[in-house]
Amino acid sequence: MTARSVVITGAASPVGAACARRFAEAGDKLVLADANETAGKAIAEALVDAGASAAFVHADTSQRLDVHNIIAEALDANNRIDVLAHTVMDRFSAPFLETSEDDFDRVIGRNVRGAFLINQAAAKQFIKQAENDAAATDAAATGVIVNVGSVEAVTAAANHVAFATSQGGLHQLTKAVALALSPHNVRVNAVGVGSVKGDMDDGVAPKRMRDVTPLKRIGDPEEVASVIFFLAGEEASYVTGQTIYVDGGRLAQLDPPVDAGENP
């Protein structure tokens, strides 16, 4: 398979880093972006040391200029973009009556505005490439977007009002963007995650989340990355506008007893 140009946002997160390793194993050329400059650079450097093609951009996807810089870096490094894996997810937990307007705006900004900006920027580049690509065919996707969110696009917890709202927004944004881009043969899907290693501290919270998960364990970031990689590939060529949940069976349960203060 020809090496693809892949942009991964949130690359310093457990899922984002696992995605970077998975795409690098396939020989793809990566541009990694994250607001955590130290951790993001370390991941890119480790991939390069292992022989991969990877560049890092210090960026907050809720800021339009930063999104422009991500796209510019990908074009400068690889001349095109084929895949966007948007894994940024700002988790927030607080009692509803104590959640400030600033808290709400920050979470919506990071999780919904950020997804809108990076999805739109990547889509514009996909369409431009397709118009300039004489070899493009009706069967081949001209670009792929995979957004990463949480099971709280469907469920909710009392202390997660801002976060759950943002996840519902990301879920609907993915469907609407998929419809808007389908005439251009750009596929857009999402992956909704349950409890994943590295997203919470060791101790009581992981034990509780294992107890309420039918598979009785916390997921590995690599398991999520494998689904993202599948959705970005040709084997998923007829899949768009969908959310696949990688949650150990949590959404299949009736009224799982999740503590309202747990991490989403």
Band of the pLDDT at 113, cuts 50, 70, 90? very high
In the chain, the percentage of residues whose pLDDT exceeds 70 is 91
CB 93 within 8 A of CB 264: yes
Q: What is the reported pLDDT for 202?
A: 46
Residue 9: what residue type? T
The answer to whether residue 203 scores a pLDDT higher than 60 is no
pLDDT(76) > 70: yes
Band of residue 210 on the pLDDT scale cut at 50, 70, 90: confident
What pLDDT sits at residue 204? 47
Q: Which residues pair with 189 in a beta bridge?
A: 146
Question: What's the whole-model pTM score?
Answer: 0.92
Helix (H) or strand (E) holding 58: strand 53-58
Which of 255, 241, 221, 247 lies closest to 17 in space, CA to CA? 221
Q: What is the pLDDT of residues 215-230, one digit of tens each?
A: 888 889 999 999 999 9
- Which has the closest alpha carbon to 246: 207, 211, 201, 194? 194
pLDDT in tens, 29-68: 999 999 999 999 999 999 999 999 999 999 999 999 999 9
Q: Which two tokens stand for residue 190?
A: 């999402």
The gap from C-alpha 56 to its chain's centroid, in whole angstroms, comes to 17
**What is the strand order of the sheet 53-58 is part of?**
53-58, 29-34, 5-9, 83-86, 143-150, 186-193, 243-246
pLDDT of res. 118: 98
Q: From CA 211, how far away is CA 257, in angstroms rounded?
A: 9
How does pLDDT run across 154-198, given as a tens digit for each residue?
A: 988 899 999 999 999 999 999 999 999 999 999 999 999 988 888
What is the rounded CA–CA span in Å between residue 250 and residue 100? 29
Residue 56, beta-bridge partner list: 32
Q: How far apart are CA 15 and CA 87, in angstroms?
A: 7
Whether 220 contacts 177, CB under 8 Å: no
pLDDT at 88: 97
Q: Report d(CA 205, CA 152) in Å as an integer.
A: 17
- pLDDT at residue 176, rounded to an integer: 98
Domains in the chain: ranges and CATH: 5-252 (3.40.50.720)
According to the model, what pLDDT value does residue 220 have? Answer: 94
- Is residue 44 within 8 A of residue 31, CB to CB? The reply is no
Q: Does the pLDDT at position 260 exceed 50?
A: no
Say what the pLDDT of residue 212 is.
Answer: 83
How high is the pLDDT of residue 1?
67
Taking residues 101-123, report their average pLDDT.
Answer: 97
Dihedral pair phi/psi, residue 137, rounded to 5°: -120, 165
Is 80 exceeded by the pLDDT of residue 254? no
Confidence grade of residue 140 (pLDDT, cut at 50, 70, 90): low
CA gap 195, 198 in Å, rounded: 9
Q: What's the rounded Cα separation, in Å, for the pair 252 and 67?
A: 36
Q: Residue type for 187, please?
A: R
Q: How does the average pLDDT of the chain come out, rounded?
A: 91
Residue 59 tokens, joined? 């960026």
Residue 72 to residues 19, 109, 232, Cα–Cα distance (Å): 21, 22, 21
